[in-house]
Structure 1
Amino acid sequence: MDDRNHPPGKLKILEVDPWLGSYEQDLILRMKHYREMKRSLLGDDSQFKDFANGHQYFGFHPTDHGWVYREWAPAADALFLMGDFNGWNRNSHPLTAREAGVWEIFLEGRETLCHECRVKVHVVSKGTARDRIPLYIRRVVQDTETHDFCGQIWHPPESFHWTDSDFQLLPHRPPFIYECHIGMAQEEGKISSYREFEEIILPRVKTMGYNTIQLMAVMQHPYYASFGYHVSNYFAVSSWFGTPEDLKSLVNTAHQMGIAVLMDIVHSHAVKNIAEGINQFDGTVHQFFHEGERGNHSAWDSKLFNYGKHEVIHFLLSGIKFWLEEYHFDGFRFDGVTSMIYHDHGLGTAFDSYDKYFSANTDLEALTYLQFANELTKELRPDALSIAEDMSGMPGMCLPIETGGIGFDYRLSMGMPDFWVKTLEKPDENWQMGQMVHELSTSRPQEKRIAYVESHDQALVGDKTMIFRMADKEMYAHMRRGSQNLEVERAVALHKMARLITISLGSEGYLTFMGNEFGHPEWIDFPREGNGWSFQHCRRLWSLADNPALRYRDLYHFDQAMLQLMQTANLMGGSPLTLMVDEERKVIAYRSNSHVFLFNFHPTVSWEHLEIPLHDTGDYQVVLDSDEERFGGQGRISHEVVHSTYSLRLNPVYSGIAIYLPCRTGMVLGKNE
């Protein structure tokens, strides 16, 4: 964005959201900080894509006559390169200090460093001396005997051959996101690989109808059980799952299948480890992080970046450019945005008024960094997607920067799974239909949302997936087709209904964590000392969804049919017209384009000849219902009956239809043309 074309003044965000009028000065301050920081970084003419090139300068780079290696370590007194090439001698290869904290060494001969040889850098600073992993290293591996991590030169003799040059994201294609963790994607009790995911899981994703995968834990992390959120090396592909070439192959194949690939990027915090990570690389905390308590995340036990520091911005933005260009990712889901943009990280804060967004608790530097990150992403890939994991609902999160926004394309609707968890804690007869419609349909003006019932968060050990929360131990004995059990019947019915109403109430995108679509039982628990390093709960039991004798397959088929309908009928987004919200009957009805969605959440009562006002005339037929036998239902609804509109008996002013709506059933009617 060229801010010379957008001088300070009245911000468009105030027109989009009039409730922000009282906070105009806060928004002006936000944009003033953005412009001033951008100018201090780039001057008046440059773009972020010309600035974010740290990975092209620092780290290891072959030349015609050898190798050059550079580091940024402003507080260090001396650096020495060591590795296989010099017998791990800590003194034989000193780096030379240049300007602005840059250190450099030239190694004569291309054969000095070879593909896959191991390296570290010995850093001396203020009386301490540590062996460290280079900041911009592309690959980190663990020694099988000592279990220590070290850098590895990754320079294969032949570069990867990409064949995805024609792939691009269509501007109006809603993202149907399959959230994935590579390591736990297989049924076998082990850490799975990029190659196995490419060969086994990508075809499943395509068959199910998801057009986007979101890959977790791609950045190198030393502790597998961290789920990838304690990142140690910001330019290294996680070696838990394979090599950089393996990841490139996965992305390339996904693109050939028409599947976009998003990266779960972690710029919200860093692992505090010194031996494996970037903490105290030059001997100081303040190289990358805030000093004192501001630099520590009490809940996550990790380090917090100083987003006001030019060198930190350069480091992180270079990472964004690196992952987009080197691995052809199609965008990012930014982790921990709420933690970034508030000094208290949003912990325990109820964001129940606009005052909470514009106060001394708001981290203006973090907001500015996110604006830069989104601006850079669009400069490099105008079609790329950026998604904010923000539970606070910060106004303007998904508005363009030039309007006063932060520049994300979508916000992950984190309130939706929280709503479902709280709803399931109540007896079914106490569920509030009006509250359900409000929670699933309300958003900030012009904000695009990713809807979801549950992600990986709701499946972690100590919590329960939605279906396990409802059916619990009964799933072990009664998920076979034909088995009679009230808890399982309820769980299966509500599992389908929750997904259908969540995806269809106006959100512009949809997400599920792998396996949740078919009701994967139990929880996720990574191998750790407390469970005897077991993989029992760190895998996906695809055989459950593939077994025609089990009800998991019914849920799998419903999810598949639901996605197909939402895509082919173009039913994502917009503002569905609410037709009926009946608290006593537990009925919800709304219209989206030419389709009508009906839900009866009553646990026991089915409604005969229920009149539904459509405010439209024509003939309608059922095109999908959760009670179909192919989805494990009772088959109580005919798809052959034509429902013609008429002047309703109870209110002749309205035209509508009369229909049979069974208990615990959701259905969709299409208009006959």
Structure 2
Amino acid sequence: MKSVQNYSLFTEHDIYLFKEGKHYKLYDKFGAHSVSKDGVEGVYFSVWAPFAAKVSVIGNFNNWNPAQAVLSPRWDESGIWEGFIPDLPWGTLYKYAIETKEGEILEKSDPYALSWEQNLQAASLISTTYYDWDDTDWMQNRWKNNSLNAPLSVYEMHIGSWFRDGENPKQFLNYRDIAQKLVPYILEMGFTHVEFMPVMEYPYDPSWGYQITGFFAATSRFGSPQDLMFLINELHKNNIGVILDWVPSHFPGDANGLHKFDGSYLYEHEDPRKGFHPDWKSYIFNYGRNEVKSFLISNAMFWLDRYHADGLRVDAVTSMLHLDYSRNEGEWEPNIFGTNVNLEAKTFLQEFNTAVYKEFGDSIITIAEESSDFPMLTKPVHDGGVGFGMKWMMGWMHDTLKYFKEDPINRKHLHHKLTFASMYMYNENYMMPLSHDEVVHGKASLIYKMFGDEWQKFANLRALYVYMFTHPGAKLLFMGDEFGQTSEWNFKQSLDWHLLQYPVHAGLKEAVKDLNHLYKNETALYKNQFNPYGFEWVEADDTDNSVLIYLRKGKNEDDILMTVLNLTPRVIDYKIGVDENSKWEVIFNSDDEKYGGSGVIANIFSEDQEEWKNKTNTISINLPALSGVVLRQSKIIVPKKAKSKLKNKK
């Protein structure tokens, strides 16, 4: 039998910050920590269970007997139970046996555990996040790559279904195996960042990781904490950023999880109108409880600190901010001002953003998945904003997909779907998402959302990608969309990589690769992606021809690109008004044969000194069907002295 001895990692200041909701590194205190007491090696345990009658550590070291390793409550009424148990090795399985005031014994896994077993009754493991990192160059300079003035092209992926061994397709690859395949692929494709769907421990595969039980544990499905760190380290060594999905919005009701942790509604709000999510049958954090805020913000800090994550994409922010989210009249209660805003959740998000940006500066990014028009999400907290670095541009996504699903004959009636985003695209710092949510649950794969026969579908999707990659804002593309995955995403199996043997799929992949490199190499596409100066309509109203033309502008008057979209299935000659003394060259054509296109050359066949739509000159260009064409401008400036000599000679 292992005896429990008095020991504590908490100072009085720690307790004060915890109770004030201002302790942001609780992972240094709570959980299981290897320590030495009086020269004896062992493990210090601590857990927050303020309404418990008794708490003990049970595990494979004491036959799961709750009567043996009993923890002591702290004297300061913090609700923390703690103690030191000698001679426990790494890998020891444990839980907390929590006796409620009603006498019921709950077996709970450690909310701060660094590793969990991979089964429904998962116990915690005594573990470590020590790792010999080798990404110093990236970490010191990542602020440049994560800047709003840098190209941000994100490859969203689910680790368990991106790639599997063909000989054993039901078996997950280890994080290390993924690294060997993922790093060269991202380098080839030109994405700047990878976004992993949740890697925190979760019990239920069909939740895709969004029903988290182990908030501080890397899921053991794919290996150890060090295996995940290896993957992130390898990406960083190759100048690829890593964004993690983070879920502070809800948690499942698993018996070993946070739900009624000490017999009370401890982590969740006790009022079901605020504490239970009707869609996901899960429980909503109590954002008004200071200790819960400390837990959640510490969790965000943990992944940015211990795992060197470069950003957090915060899931389901809309559900957090709206008291009436998925609720009918009478199922929610307005706030003190009579509105539907969850003021406690808003304050929590402001405190979260303030804390992580104070700790890490602009070297990291926070991104809100938010689908409403909630104001000032990406504005500074000191100006009344919520403080996120970016927000998903859900309106753009819905409008764009609706347009490209439509028969070109009818597209003139939906022309505004592609122009409307320009009315609000600088209200926030937007990321344009074509995410996993758009290719599941009967919504069809991205390629099958496009209108037409096979040729038209691929032509439409290539044109859509030109529109996306040349539109202001950061980019996000879900795995498989880059080569035209034909089936909906299935978390149970690998992507259909065999499709790349077919020219149309290989061509689409080549187009995305070239668009990524175009985006990264042309400063006009990213230097002002969140600045109104960076965009100008040339032709926004030609509904009959379904043609859209716009400029993207960089840091000087010569740094200009033009995007021309012909979204009808016919080749047309088109006149465009341009500035005097400007020359244009085509640098990308989505109809190129190497992309699976028909090979119609986008040729500038005429340049004239003719006034046209408020411009002094024109160019005329041959536009392929269902295409996106990108042109680069080069100006010819005649020096003033040369002009005066010409006049004298004349």
| TMscore range, shorter length | 0.7 to 0.9
> 1:586 corresponds to which letter in structure 2?
S
Does structure 1 conserve the Cα–Cα contact (< 8 Å) formed by 2:403 and 2:418?
A: no
How far apart, CA to CA, are the structure 1 residues paired with 2:535 and 2:47? Answer: 54
Give aligned-pair identity as a percent.
28
Q: Does 1:412 align with 2:392?
A: yes
How far apart, CA to CA, are the structure 1 residues paired with 2:615 and 2:226? Answer: 65
TM-score, length basis structure 1: 0.82
Does structure 2 conserve the Cα–Cα contact (< 8 Å) formed by 1:215 and 1:262?
A: yes
1:234 deviates by 1.0
How far apart, CA to CA, are the structure 2 residues paired with 1:359 and 1:435? Answer: 35
Name the counterpart of 2:282: 302
Name the counterpart of 2:294: 314
1:619 deviates by 1.3
> 1:667 corresponds to which letter in structure 2?
V
2:31 to 46, 59, 78: 59
Q: Does 1:149 align with 2:149?
A: no
Name the counterpart of 2:229: 248
Name the counterpart of 1:117: 92
Does structure 1 conserve the Cα–Cα contact (< 8 Å) formed by 2:602 and 2:624?
A: no
1:666 to 614, 622, 628: 628
How far apart, CA to CA, are the structure 2 residues paired with 1:339 and 1:568? Answer: 38
How far apart, CA to CA, are the structure 2 residues paired with 1:616 and 1:243? Answer: 62
1:496-511 equivalence runs, <5 A: 496-507=462-473, 509-511=474-476
Does structure 2 conserve the Cα–Cα contact (< 8 Å) formed by 1:341 and 1:367?
A: yes
Does structure 2 conserve the Cα–Cα contact (< 8 Å) formed by 1:620 and 1:642?
A: no
How far apart, CA to CA, are the structure 2 residues paired with 1:428 and 1:359? Answer: 46
Name the counterpart of 1:20: none
TM-score, length basis structure 2: 0.85
1:176-575 equivalence runs, <5 A: 176-188=153-165, 189-190=169-170, 191-275=172-256, 277-345=257-325, 360-382=339-361, 383-432=363-412, 434-443=415-424, 445-452=426-433, 454-470=434-450, 487-507=453-473, 509-526=474-491, 535=492, 538-545=493-500, 547=501, 549-570=502-523, 571-572=525-526, 573=529, 574=531, 575=534
1:643 deviates by 5.6
How far apart, CA to CA, are the structure 2 residues paired with 1:657 and 1:127? Answer: 83
1:590-649: CA deviation from partner (whole Å, max 9, x where unpaired): 11121111111112x3222x211124531111110111010011111156x57645314x
1:506-538: CA deviation from partner (whole Å, max 9, x where unpaired): 22x100011111111111234xxxxxxxx3xx3
How far apart, CA to CA, are the structure 1 residues paired with 2:339 and 2:602? Answer: 59
Name the counterpart of 1:619: 583
Q: Secondary structure of the residue that 1:271 maps to in structure 2?
A: coil
1:444 deviates by 5.8
Does structure 2 conserve the Cα–Cα contact (< 8 Å) formed by 1:194 and 1:250?
A: yes
Change (3 A) 1:380 1:223: same
Name the counterpart of 1:9: none
1:77 deviates by 0.6
1:544 deviates by 2.2
> 1:160 corresponds to which letter in structure 2?
Y
Q: Does 1:646 align with 2:609?
A: yes
> 1:134 corresponds to which letter in structure 2?
D
1:415-472: CA deviation from partner (whole Å, max 9, x where unpaired): 22222343345332222464133344343645211113x210011132212212337x
Change (3 A) 1:411 1:346: farther
Q: Secondary structure of the residue that 1:450 maps to in structure 2?
A: strand
How far apart, CA to CA, are the structure 1 residues paired with 2:17 and 2:265? Answer: 26
How far apart, CA to CA, are the structure 2 residues paired with 1:360 and 1:281? Answer: 31
Q: Does 1:138 align with 2:104?
A: no
Name the counterpart of 1:532: none
How far apart, CA to CA, are the structure 2 residues paired with 1:122 and 1:515? Answer: 45
Name the counterpart of 2:552: 592
1:470-501: CA deviation from partner (whole Å, max 9, x where unpaired): 37xxxxxxxxxxxxxx6101100000111111
1:379 deviates by 1.7
Name the counterpart of 2:131: 160
1:163-191: CA deviation from partner (whole Å, max 9, x where unpaired): 11221231322211011111111043232
4+ runs deviating over 4 angstroms: 40-43, 346-349, 650-653
> 1:562 corresponds to which letter in structure 2?
L
Q: Secondary structure of the residue that 2:466 maps to in structure 1?
A: helix
The runs of 5 or more residues in structure 1 that have no matched partner are 1-39, 350-354, 472-485, 527-534
Q: Secondary structure of the residue that 2:58 maps to in structure 1?
A: strand
Name the counterpart of 1:83: 59
Q: Secondary structure of the residue that 2:178 maps to in structure 1?
A: helix
How far apart, CA to CA, are the structure 2 residues paired with 1:347 and 1:667? Answer: 45
